[in-house]
Structures are given as C-alpha cells and as structure tokens.
Amino acid sequence: MSEQKLTILAIGGHVGDAELTAGGVLASHSLKGDRIVTLALTAGERGVPAGQDMAEYREQKVNEAKQFAEMLGGESIVFDIPDGELQNNEEMRMRVCDVIRDVRPNIIITHFKNSMHKDHMTTHLIVNDARFFAGLASFKREKPAFFASKLYYAENWEDAVDYKPYVYVDFNQEAYDLWVAAVSKHWFVTNSKSFPFLEYYKHLVRVRGIEARKEYAETFMVPEETMRVLRPEL
C-alpha cells in the first residue's frame, strides 16, 4: 500500500515569510510528492525598493510567491489586503477558514504568537481562529467543514520573543538546494539592505541541523495545549 500523501498549507503575513522560515521542510515534502500550498495574507509590498512603484512591487511579490510554489510543484494564494493593514476581524477569519476548507491541509504552518511585526501577530491570531472555525460544521460556508489536525509555528527572527524550538524537522541536501533556489526568487531575500535574509536562514538551518545531529533542519513550536510527551513508562 502506498504511503498517504500530505497537504501542507503554509500561511504568512507577507509573501516570503513562510517561504523563508519553513521552506526547507516544504521543499523536502514536495520532493516526497506531498502537496504544498502557500497563503500570504498580504503581499508585503511596503518593503518596496527605493524608486520602484509600490503597486508594481506588489505584483512582483505575487509573482515571486507563484514562482516559489511552482518550483515545489505547489500553488500560491495572496490576499489583496494592503501590507500593514491586516485586521483580525470576522471577515479575515472566515476568508482563511474558507481557504482551509478548500485546500484541506493535514498540516498548517504559520507565525509564532510574539513578533516585532504587527502583521505577523495578527496572522497568528487569525489562523488559530480560522482553523477552529474551519473544523466546525455548524459554521455554514460554501465548502464542507475540515479540521487540519496539525498546527506548527515556524522560527522567524522577527518572531523571536519567547520562541523555543520544540520540533526539529530535518531535510537533506537536495531539499536544501531546492529551497535556496526557490526562495532566491524573492527580491528582498537576496537584495535587502536592512537584513541579510538568505545568509541568516542558510546559517540557521545548518545550526538547527547540527543541534539535531543532522545535515539541515528547521524548528517549530506547537500550540501550548499540545505540548505533551506520552510514554507508558520512564
């Protein structure tokens, strides 16, 4: 009997968030034949390069998300919410709920609860509620109810306060190379003057891999209510 394929939905506040923080694991799963879907609640267009039109940069960011997802054999979704104006309201929770019901992911990855960035914290809150609503049949929507059984919070340098690695997921050189090639399609990853994103995350996955006694790894937190280890004996 063939192993069941997984669907992973990675949700970021901006295009590039999920791709940077969980991209190695996403690449690894894609190489195993699993389905990868990314959702950005905003495009992240306020990081526009000097001299470039913000509307044009937004379009560029949407295309960068598409390129990344397609290199992993997956698909991307970018909401039309202005960067920096994301609100944790009923409309947004239901929009994400509808995506979850449509994609039907086994696994959701999103931001940790604390961040220096408002959109990241807001995304965390939206996704947690949307996952709950998506699983309740009493919330009547276009698609039937679906509960994503696993929820992870990715390690992000902007979401570092109180973050403690709980789950280490390792991946090999092939997945690493695919991730680096795909994430490098994002302009800010390789060209930002404010932070060396690619250098930082390439070093981070190696450090986490060493900690796990593996080649490369990315770490995740889980909802606090699921932080338990069950054993029949010590």
pLDDT category of residue 229 using cuts at 50, 70 and 90:
confident
Which pLDDT belongs to residue 36? 98
Q: The domain at 7-226 falls in which architecture? A: 3-Layer(aba) Sandwich (3.40)
Nearest CA among 47, 31, 41, 33 for reference residue 10: 41
Average pLDDT over residues 19-32: 98
pTM of the model: 0.96
Chain centroid offset of residue 2 CA = 27
User: Is residue 57 scored above 70 in pLDDT?
Assistant: yes
User: Is residue 4 scored above 90 in pLDDT?
Assistant: no
What the block records as the tokens of 67 is: 């390129």
pLDDT category of residue 97 using cuts at 50, 70 and 90:
very high
Domain boundaries, the chain: 7-226
Alpha-carbon distances of 4 from 37, 156, 213, rounded to whole Å: 17, 30, 27
Nearest CA among 170, 177, 176, 154 for reference residue 212: 170
Task: State how far the Cα of 190 lies from the Cα of 37, in Å rounded to an integer.
Answer: 23
Alpha-carbon distances of 9 from 23, 57, 94, 168, 233, rounded to whole Å: 12, 24, 16, 18, 35
pLDDT category of residue 1 using cuts at 50, 70 and 90:
very low
Task: State how far the Cα of 96 lies from the Cα of 129, in Å rounded to an integer.
Answer: 9
Q: Virtual CA dihedral for 79, 80, 85, 88, nearest 10 degrees?
A: -40
Query: For the chain, how many helices (H) and strands (E)?
Result: 8, 7
Burial of 155 (0-12, 13-18, 19+ CB in 10 A): buried
User: Is residue 28 scored above 90 in pLDDT?
Assistant: yes
Element spanning 77, H or E: strand 75-81
